[in-house]
Amino acid sequence: MRRALPGFAGFADARALKALAARDDVESRTVERRGKAWNVLHGPFRDGVRLRKTGSTLLVSGVNLHLAEADALLRRFDFVPQARLDDVMVSYATPSGGVGPHIDSYDVFLLQGAGRRRWRTWLPNGSFHKEYVAQAGDLLYLPPLWKHDGVALEDCFTYSIGFRAPRGAELAAAFLDWLHERGLPEAAYRDPGLAPAKKPAELPKEMIRFTRAVMDRISWTGNDVADFLGGYLSEPKAHVVFRPSARRNLAGSLLHLDPRTQMLYSASTFFINGESFAVSKKDAPALKKLADRRYIEARFLARPPLAGLISGWVRAGYAHLERLKP
C-alpha cells in the first residue's frame, strides 16, 4: 500500500533504539551479514550497540510498551481484535542490512519509516512473487507463511506490526495446565486379585482401562474455554515490568490503560494481565468501553465496587490517571 501513512517519518531514531536495547526489560538483537555468513547477538547491550557501516541491523521488540507513539501506531490496527495484536518491533539497518529470507507463521504489517528498503516476497509454494522498494509511509502486508527478504538500500527504519497466532498444540498444552491448576480428577490405581504376569513387559489391560476412565472424566464447558483464553492471551510477557502511578484521585481524572496492559472481555467477564473477574450487567458497559478505547473518564467508574478495582490497578501500574483538561 503506497503512502498508507503519507509523511510518516517514524518516531524512534537510532539513538533511542540503542538506549532501549540496553535495558533488561526490552527484547533486542543485532544481526550482521558478512558475505554468506550471519551473526546474531541478543541484548541487553549494556555496553552499547555496535553496528557496522554496512550489513548490520538492530531489532527492538515491544517498542509499543515503552514509547507512546509506538502504542498509538499499534492501536491504529485494532480493526483486528486486540486479542490478536502482539507488538511493534522497530528495526534500524545500515546499507545492505537485513535478517535474511525467512517465513513467519503469523500476519505482519511492515511500515517503512525513514530510508528505503527493498523487499522480495515468495508465495507459500516457494515461487517468487514480487519485488518492492518501500519508502517512508509505504505499508507491506504479509500473510502467514510467505517468505520475504528485506534489504536496506540506505540507513533505514522499518516498523513491524505483528499479530499473535497461537498454535493448536500450544493452546492445548496451556489449557491442560489451566485445567490442572483447577483440579483434574484424582484417582489411585488399584489391582486387587492381580494374577502372576505371564508377559511381564505387556501393558496390563486393567491399567489401560483405568487410565481411559480417568481421561473420560476430564471435561470442560465453553465458558471454561473463554476463561482460559482470556487469561492466556492477556498474560504479560515474562520481561514486562509495571510501574505504579503517582496520581490516585479518580475525581476529575482520565483513566487510561498502561501500554503494557492487555484488557479483554467475554460477556460480563473481564481479563486484565492474566487475571479475570466478573462484574454486574450494570457495570460491564463502562469497562467494555475502557477495554475497547483504552481510556475513559474515571467518573464513570467511581462507584463501588469498580472504584476499588480501579484503585488497585493504578497501584499496580496497570492503569494511570491524568487530570482532565478544563
Domain boundaries, the chain: 14-163, 168-214, 234-323
| Per-residue model confidence (pLDDT) at position 325 | 79
Confidence grade of residue 181 (pLDDT, cut at 50, 70, 90)? confident
Confidence grade of residue 200 (pLDDT, cut at 50, 70, 90)? confident
Q: Where are the beta strands (DSSP E) in 72-183?
A: 85-93, 108-112, 117-122, 128-134, 139-142, 147-152, 156-163
| Per-residue model confidence (pLDDT) at position 251 | 81
Q: What is the pTM of this model?
A: 0.87
Percent of the chain at pLDDT > 70 equals 99
Cell output for 218: 476430564
Position 138 pLDDT exceeds 70: yes
| Per-residue model confidence (pLDDT) at position 197 | 84
Cα separation values, 89 from 17, 142, 173, 251, 268, Å: 10, 15, 27, 36, 33
Class at the top of the CATH hierarchy for domain 234-323: alpha beta
Confidence grade of residue 247 (pLDDT, cut at 50, 70, 90)? low
Position 314 pLDDT exceeds 90: yes
Q: What does the pLDDT average to over 165-172?
A: 88
Confidence grade of residue 246 (pLDDT, cut at 50, 70, 90)? confident
b vs e for 241-252, b when ≥16 Cβ sit within 10 Å of the residue's Cβ? ebeebeeeebee
For β-strands 108-112 and 156-163, DSSP reports them as antiparallel
Least confident among 23-27, 197-201, 262-266, 310-314: 197-201
Percent of the chain at pLDDT > 90 equals 74
**Domain spanning 14-163: CATH superfamily:** Cupin (2.60.120.650)
| Per-residue model confidence (pLDDT) at position 273 | 97
**Each residue's pLDDT tens digit, 11-59:** 989 999 999 999 999 999 999 988 888 999 999 999 999 999 999 999 9
Q: What does the pLDDT average to over 214-224?
A: 88
Name, of 4-13, 28-37, 128-137, 206-215, the range with top average pLDDT: 128-137
Q: pLDDT averaged over the chain? A: 92
Position 186 pLDDT exceeds 80: no
The answer to whether 48 touches 22, Cβ cutoff 8 Å, is: yes
| Per-residue model confidence (pLDDT) at position 218 | 84
